[in-house]
Amino acid sequence: MLSVICPNCATENEAGRKFCLSCGSRLAIVCPGCGSPNNPLARFCGECGAAMATVTGPHAAVEGAAPAPGATMIAGSLAAGGAGRAAPLAERRLVTVLFVDLVGFTSLAEGRDAEVVRDLLGRYFEVARSVVEHHGGTVEKFIGDAVMAVWGAPTAHEDDAERAVRAALEIVDAVRALGPGLEARAGVLTGEAAVTLGAPGQGMVAGDLVNTASRLQSVAPPGSVVVGEATERAASRAIAFEPAGEQLLKGRVAPVQAYRALRVVAERGGRGRSDTLEAPFVGRTEEFRLLKELFHTTARERRVRHVSITGIAGIGKSRLAWEFLKYVDGLVEDTYWHEGRSPAYGEGITFWALGEMVRRRAGLAEADDERTTREKIAAALSRFVPDEAERHWIEPRLLTLLGLEVSVSGGREELFAAWRTFFERVAARGTVVLVFEDLQWADSGLLDFIDHVLEWSRAVPIYIVTLARPELLDRRPDWGAGRRNFTSIHLEPLSEAAMHQLLGGLVPGLPERAVAAMVARSEGVPLYAIETVRMLVSDGTLVAEGGSYRPTRDVSELAVPETLQALIAARLDALDPRERSLLQDASVLGQTFSVAGLAAVSDAAPEAAEANLRSLVRREFLQFVVDPRSPERGQYTFLQALIRDVAYGRLARKERRDRHLAAARYFEMLEDEEIAGVLASHYLAAYRASAEGPEADAAAAQARVALKSAADRASALGSPDQAMTYLERALSTATEPDDQADLLWRAGVAGSDAGHHEAAERFLRRAVEVNRDRGDRPAAARAVAALGWALVEGSRLEPAREVLEPAVTEYEDLGEDPAEVALLGHLSRTYFRMQQFEPALRYAEQALSAAERLGLNDVLADTLVTKGTALHQLGRSIEGTALLEAGLKVADAHGLTGTSLRAQNNLLDPLGEIDARAAFEQASRAFEQALRLGRAAMMVYLLENAVHLAMLLGEWEWADSRLPGAVAAITEDVDRPHILGLMAVLPRFGAGIPLLRWRSWRLPRRRGPTTSPSSTTSPIRSTGSRSRRVETPTRTRPPTSSWASISSARSRPSPRRSVRPSGSATSRSPSRHGTASRHPAPRSASSSSSVAPARRASSPSPGGPRRRPPTARSSASCATRGSASRTPSPPSTRSCCSDGTTRRSDRRPVRPASS
């Protein structure tokens, strides 16, 4: 009896078995030529006529074994051509085969140069291979201008047929971009075939299926994809098809039923497919292709990229994003999709879209309680963030975003850094896609966060796609300006041909006269045409039939509304009054809403509301969210934002007021901190819709309370811009001086934090006036302190002094009031930045004497650093160091990261005099902290200081590894010369130029104040005052240290060298966002002390440092200037002096930072 020998264990198996009875390995008897299955008795293949290999013996599959009588099998190792190679396994499988070829390629190639033809074919094959592999297929072979690919072998998926059709559609589309007039056609067939596993490219798939697929492709029209019946059945849930009739193929007796693939209409397996017909996707081929190409570039290069898609309402932004989602969902690469939208409440709810993305990634639903939310966030972090310490750092900041934590230390920079790091860790597993919808309504903090990610996640595959109306560019005229990783796609109106194609796809039988009227009215806006079709479906003029609509009556004289808004209004008028009223109630709640919320607004029973909502879904006004990944699953959403706008606009003022109040009370009952902005917006809308009188006053009071809460949340999330917006709105409701005074102070502080110094000055000057009129001197002092700080923040030092100095005297009778202490601290800082150290010390001492007793930790830490650096400038280094260390301790203990970084930087100078190694280690740690937090300005200062210390100690590898990345991270052109200058003197970057040997001399200790005109500058760049350098006493020039004499400096580390102290600061503006406030809150009636809220630290944020003139700053590149014929001189610097002249120092100073 014939048997099959297992190639793995050599067990004899009876013919017909597919798996070994002993070890479970696969068994097969196939033709060695074509791979077709054959009867074990056959001596020749029934498919191709090739001789079958006959091997006998119980151990024939094992190298060196003798064959057994009567056994027949394919010896894989022998057929493969050599002993010791793994035998390809042969079996029958359900596979999908794709054939693609170029239409008319022979005539196209005729008369062209052979190299041109070769290059064209090369690009075509590369495109085909890339697309096939992206969709999980295997390219089997290239035959002339044809490509054969297979799905289901060597790895099978349940959606192989769908993947193959997706790939075919994409290849046909991509070929058009290879050259004018170039077209491709494709055939896809699914069925059983003989497969040789382990032999791709060597006839892996064989059988009648392959021949039929090739014949099917040959009858496809140019630019189309034709599939067989089995393929259509398997892929129809996600892909739209139309019948292509029975095709009589060459070599076959029976005709083959064929279908033409039209487009992808859903995610894999049909997920997300609309219950209604979807309009054809037309007129956006180039934009869609660019979106896909940039996505693959992001994944390939592992670099962040931003694509901004803008266009008017209804132009097709959301449709383009939907097509992109369907495309990405069909790829085999791991992609982590996130999407979030900004609600249309004023100028947006703080970070709402970002919160939706985090919820989606953690699998959270809107209705999840606090315990569930915390558990799911912890689980998501465990999955994506491997480092435990990093998880503990990120978790409270994600919970703050979701409204479960009030605030965390570190302010805006810490929050942004933690949120960014979370997405970076997700991106370590696969490309992350962040789609922000309706960005024109986003809060400014969200826009800043997007900029932050683009600036700091440069080497991470994060693909940001933003959808917005042109109004976004009115708010941010410089949106994306100057960024190399930014691409703008503006969607123009569709052409007439595209509009005809769209309507022809939806309603094939529509008379030309009606089509022409609709195209003319639409002005290229596809939503207009779609809404017209929906209107005709609603009144029964059109009915669905097959994959399109057909008219039920003559529509030649169709009356079409003139505008899109009028068209939607006509559809609303055709609704049942109950449904129309329910839709208007829903419009008050926003773009997305729950049944419970709608029931609260409309006073309807949830069951009755749900029935009407289902009817509105069928009529294509609403859509039910069923995506299990969406946090809005189970809710309803308006199909188009314009439908919501029109429905809301038709509400009368009284109805609008009543519904907004009902919505506000509903959201108030939820007690969710995350929706503070939603609550505030409803109360404000109710106030604006109220007639003058008691009702308006009551609504105004409620609006003020809610808006202040929303502003507090925005500040806690590091969005002072949005906080100022909320407070401005609150001011519009305030008529009493008491309310105005508090709101003006709050708005001024938020404006100062946001870097809007002129607006802050305006608010705070009014606050001073109102408080003086009210006779509230502590509140007036507090407003003056905030005003002085805003002027200092804006680098207006003389006006700040003019405000603060008289106020210190005016309010000294307040004693140890927090406002008086703040005045003293701010005045000390002002004099310090003006390089007037004696008065700076005097006022600092007065501030410090009370700050600690009152618990004003932000004032205490900042003033300790100011006083310590000033003392160091005056030659009192031991005292200065002690105070700097004390300021650092206070800052670290209370999460004042900006003050902490400033203190760490300013400590480098005195520490370097004692222990250069310790100074280097501190500088490198502080640099890494600034880098993690995205503190661009501090990063530059600390890196430059650390690199100088590294060169001193021979830590070349550290310097070499940090500098290139720093250049990429720097956003201000004025910063680049400092880093590029350092790179120029490192042998790795400076073409072998040796570095100055710093160890050849030591500096004398400074003896007194900096007054000598011939003085030189200190090597440490410290923070705190206005000028770029602090002058130090004249010192003896070091012994000969020409560049030529120190070429061996890199090969051996230098001994310890004292580094001179410094303390100059810069004209760089202080931090704009999220740091400890300098404006203490007023005392409570029951206490004599108050703790100042922690809102602002003192160093520049990555998003908003002020640009300094280049002349105010020294550059390491100065060493490379001058005549090439001169002997190179050591690195030097120019420092700006009080008389406007510049002086040259013989030591390249380590750089001071601003505060």
DSSP string for residues in 326-369: HHHHT-SS-EEEEEEE---STT--TTHHHHHHHHHHHT--TT--
pLDDT at 1129 over 70: no
pLDDT of residue 1076: 41
Range with lowest mean pLDDT among 239-253, 502-516, 616-630: 616-630
Range with lowest mean pLDDT among 321-325, 690-694, 1012-1016: 1012-1016
How many other CB atoms sit within 10 Å of the CB of residue 798? 10
- The CA R_g of the chain, rounded to the nearest whole Å, is 36
pLDDT at 1001 over 70: no
Q: How confident is the model at residue 909 (pLDDT cuts 50, 70, 90)?
A: confident
pLDDT of residue 294: 95
Task: Decide: residue 674, CB within 10 A, 0-12 exposed, 13-18 middle, 19+ buried.
Answer: buried
Q: In 754-876, which ranges are continuous DSSP H helix?
A: 757-774, 777-793, 797-810, 818-833, 837-854, 857-873
Q: Could you tell me if residue 151 is left (phi over 0), alpha (psi between -120 and 50 degrees) or otherwise beta?
A: beta
**In the chain, ranges of CATH 3.40.50.300 domains:** 285-490
Q: How confident is the model at residue 511 (pLDDT cuts 50, 70, 90)?
A: confident
Residue 714 near residue 350, CB atoms below 8 Å? yes
pLDDT at 302 over 50: yes
Higher-confidence position of 812 and 548: 812
Residue 266 near residue 273, CB atoms below 8 Å? yes
Q: How confident is the model over 543-549, as a mean pLDDT?
A: 76
Q: Rounded to two decimals, what is the model's pTM? A: 0.65
Range with lowest mean pLDDT among 237-241, 634-638, 732-736: 634-638
Among 281, 285, 277, smallest CA distance to 263 is for 281
Residue 1128 near residue 1046, CB atoms below 8 Å? no
Q: What is the 3-state secondary structure (H, E, C) of 1018-1059?
A: CCCCCCCCCCCCCEECCCCCCCCCCHHHHCCHHHCCCCCCCC
Give the residues across from 139 on adjacent strands. 149
pLDDT of residue 72: 30
Contacts of 1013 (CB under 8 A, 6+ apart): 1137
1057-1093 confidence digits (pLDDT tens): 333 333 333 333 333 333 344 455 443 333 333 333 3
pLDDT of residue 150: 92
pLDDT of residue 112: 79
The helix or strand, by DSSP H or E, that contains position 732, with its residue range, turns out to be none
pLDDT of residue 444: 85
707-721 confidence digits (pLDDT tens): 999 999 888 888 888
Q: Are strands 462-468 and 431-437 parallel, antiparallel or unpaired?
A: parallel
pLDDT at 392 over 90: yes
Distance CA 645, CA 661 (A): 19
Distance CA 1138, CA 1064 (A): 12
Pick the CATH number of 572-629+641-651 from 2.60.120, 2.30.29, 2.20.25, 1.10.10: 1.10.10
836-851 confidence digits (pLDDT tens): 999 999 999 999 988 9
Residue 722 near residue 443, CB atoms below 8 Å? yes
Residue 726 near residue 714, CB atoms below 8 Å? yes
Could you give the 3-state DSSP secondary structure of residue 1075? coil
pLDDT of residue 6: 61
Could you give the 3-state DSSP secondary structure of residue 791? helix
Distance CA 602, CA 1009 (A): 75
Could you give the 3-state DSSP secondary structure of residue 1067? coil
In CATH, the architecture of 91-270 is 2-Layer Sandwich (3.30)
pLDDT of residue 1134: 28
Residue 636 φ then ψ, to 5° = -110, 150
pLDDT of residue 628: 60
Q: How confident is the model at residue 48 (pLDDT cuts 50, 70, 90)?
A: low
**What secondary structure letter does DSSP report for 1134?**
E
Q: How confident is the model at residue 976 (pLDDT cuts 50, 70, 90)?
A: low
Contacts of 350 (CB under 8 A, 6+ apart): 443, 445, 446, 677, 710, 713, 714, 717, 719, 722
Residue 579 near residue 617, CB atoms below 8 Å? no
Q: What is the 3-state secondary structure (H, E, C) of 544-567?
A: EECCEEEECCCCCCCCCCCCHHHH
Q: Which residues of 726-750 are buried (b: 16+ CB within 10 A; e: fewer)?
A: bbbbbbebbeeeebbbbbbbbbbbb
642-697 confidence digits (pLDDT tens): 888 899 988 999 999 999 999 999 888 887 788 888 889 999 999 999 988 888 89
How much is the mean pLDDT over the chain?
76
555-579 confidence digits (pLDDT tens): 766 666 777 788 888 888 888 888 9
pLDDT of residue 888: 93
Q: How confident is the model over 944-952, as a mean pLDDT?
A: 82
Residue corresponding to tokens 């070890």: 23
Higher-confidence position of 329 and 21: 329
Residue 1092 near residue 952, CB atoms below 8 Å? no
> Mutual orientation of helices 818-833 and 837-854 as an angle, nearest 10°?
150
Q: How confident is the model over 591-617, as a mean pLDDT?
A: 87
Could you give the 3-state DSSP secondary structure of residue 904? helix
pLDDT of residue 914: 83
pLDDT of residue 1036: 30
pLDDT at 40 over 80: no
Range with lowest mean pLDDT among 222-231, 551-560, 1019-1028: 1019-1028
Q: Are strands 335-341 and 256-264 parallel, antiparallel or unpaired?
A: unpaired
Distance CA 329, CA 970 (A): 35
Token output for 583: 């839709």
Distance CA 943, CA 975 (A): 11
Distance CA 1135, CA 1149 (A): 10
Could you give the 3-state DSSP secondary structure of residue 429? coil
Q: How confident is the model at residue 100 (pLDDT cuts 50, 70, 90)?
A: very high
Whole-Å CA distances, 1130 to 920, 978, 996, 1038, 1154: 21, 16, 6, 11, 26
Higher-confidence position of 554 and 889: 889
Among 812, 863, 815, smallest CA distance to 842 is for 863
Distance CA 732, CA 747 (A): 12
Could you give the 3-state DSSP secondary structure of residue 140? strand
The helix or strand, by DSSP H or E, that contains position 133, with its residue range, turns out to be helix 114-134
pLDDT at 989 over 50: no
Q: How confident is the model over 496-519, as a mean pLDDT?
A: 86
pLDDT of residue 934: 66
**What secondary structure letter does DSSP report for 1113?**
S
Share of the chain above pLDDT 90, in %: 33
Distance CA 894, CA 191 (A): 68
Higher-confidence position of 1028 and 364: 364
Q: How confident is the model over 178-189, as a mean pLDDT?
A: 89
Distance CA 1074, CA 718 (A): 5
Higher-confidence position of 586 and 113: 586
| Domain at 285-490: CATH code | 3.40.50.300
Higher-confidence position of 990 and 1097: 990
- Helix, strand, coil distribution of the chain in percent, nearest 5: 50, 10, 40
Q: How confident is the model over 371-375, as a mean pLDDT?
A: 92
Residue 683 φ then ψ, to 5° = -65, -40
Longest CA pairwise span in the chain (Å) = 116
Share of the chain above pLDDT 70, in %: 73
pLDDT of residue 49: 64
How many other CB atoms sit within 10 Å of the CB of residue 482? 8
Distance CA 562, CA 564 (A): 7
Residue corresponding to tokens 């291979």: 129
Q: Could you tell me if residue 669 is left (phi over 0), alpha (psi between -120 and 50 degrees) or otherwise beta?
A: alpha
Q: How confident is the model at residue 203 (pLDDT cuts 50, 70, 90)?
A: low
Token output for 496: 């007439």
**In the chain, ranges of CATH 1.10.10 domains:** 572-629+641-651
pLDDT at 784 over 90: yes
Q: How confident is the model at residue 903 (pLDDT cuts 50, 70, 90)?
A: very high
* C-alpha of 1011 from chain center: 51
pLDDT of residue 35: 52
- Cα 996–Cα 997–Cα 1000 angle in degrees, nearest 5: 130
pLDDT at 898 over 50: yes
pLDDT at 77 over 80: no
pLDDT at 705 over 90: yes
Distance CA 1155, CA 1152 (A): 10
pLDDT of residue 535: 83
Token output for 250: 């060459």
pLDDT at 1016 over 80: no
How many other CB atoms sit within 10 Å of the CB of residue 876? 17
Distance CA 567, CA 647 (A): 12
Contacts of 663 (CB under 8 A, 6+ apart): 588, 589, 597, 600, 601, 682
The helix or strand, by DSSP H or E, that contains position 213, with its residue range, turns out to be helix 208-218
pLDDT at 433 over 80: yes
Distance CA 29, CA 31 (A): 7
531-541 confidence digits (pLDDT tens): 888 888 877 88
Helices and strands, counts by H and E, the chain: 40, 24
pLDDT of residue 25: 59
Distance CA 287, CA 298 (A): 17
**In the chain, ranges of CATH 3.30.70.1230 domains:** 91-270
Distance CA 1093, CA 79 (A): 80
Letter for the amino acid at 384?
Answer: F
pLDDT of residue 1057: 35
- Cα 820–Cα 822–Cα 825 angle in degrees, nearest 5: 115
Q: How confident is the model at residue 627 (pLDDT cuts 50, 70, 90)?
A: low
744-758 confidence digits (pLDDT tens): 999 999 988 888 889
Range with lowest mean pLDDT among 313-322, 1053-1062, 1130-1139: 1130-1139
Higher-confidence position of 1098 and 308: 308
